[in-house]
A and B are shown apart, each in its own frame.
Chain A
């Protein structure tokens, strides 16, 4: 079955510290992977996406993600977290022929300590 797992429901990091959010997927075909962010009361904003090519993908707001086929993972990283990064982060896998048809993980809520 196709699925996305985000093992961490809630993570707290100190401002300025590095961040890594985990994502594992199960998908029958070549995965088309995304990270979205959702601030309270808002919709989802795309941070980055990956289909092929360089396995390290750069996104907006200083985020990057690394695709590891052998581990079925697509972890999101940021070297130095800012207070404004506090939000919920969603990993998703989709069909490269229909970019809006997505299977989401349960999300990871990020809190940032001053």
Chain B
């Protein structure tokens, strides 16, 4: 596999469920990101990880809990979500340093019912 892979591609969950989104990058990068893409809104940066350490949390509700066990894997743990959390969740990775760019996965389409 190459690039950035996200699983599952689609997820439907109830408001009381707990689920996790997985992201894996095969690019040798050391920075990873979660973005949220809602209808009618710009992509929003949620979390930033550099060398497995969280360096940014953009006021994301605690019902979203990220985990980065190593530089290649990133998870987003979900619990007690709300219907307005339904969105496309995109993972990205980049090399730390100057003038690099992000590579995005195909996203997980989440529907909260």
The reply to whether A98 and B90 contact each other, CB–CB distance below 8 Å, is: no
The reply to whether B90 and A43 contact each other, CB–CB distance below 8 Å, is: yes
List the B side residues contacting A102 at CB < 8 Å: 43, 45, 102
Interface residues of B in 68-113 (CB under 8 A from A): 90, 92-107, 109
Interface size class on chain A is 20 to 34
With A98-B48, A100-B31 in contact, do A41 and B106 touch (Cβ < 8 Å)? yes
The reply to whether B94 and A99 contact each other, CB–CB distance below 8 Å, is: yes
The binding surface of chain A is classed by DSSP as strand
Interface size class on chain B is 20 to 34
List the A side residues contacting B56 at CB < 8 Å: 101
The reply to whether A101 and B104 contact each other, CB–CB distance below 8 Å, is: no
* Residue on B nearest A36 in the bound complex, by CB: B104
Cα(A49)–Cα(B40), bound, Å: 25
**Contact mask for chain A residues 76-87; partner B; CB cutoff 8 A; 1 contact, 0 none:** 000000000000
Which of A44, A49, A98, A105 is the one whose CB lies under 8 Å from B96? A98
Cα(A34)–Cα(B6), bound, Å: 23
* Residue on B nearest A90 in the bound complex, by CB: B43
The reply to whether B42 and A105 contact each other, CB–CB distance below 8 Å, is: yes
Q: How far is the CB of A40 from chain B (nearest CB, A)?
A: 11
Q: How far is the CB of A8 from chain B (nearest CB, A)?
A: 14
Q: A96-B98, A99-B95 given; name 13 further pairs at CB < 8 Å.
A: A43-B104, A45-B104, A90-B43, A97-B97, A98-B94, A99-B100, A100-B92, A100-B94, A100-B101, A101-B45, A101-B56, A102-B45, A102-B102
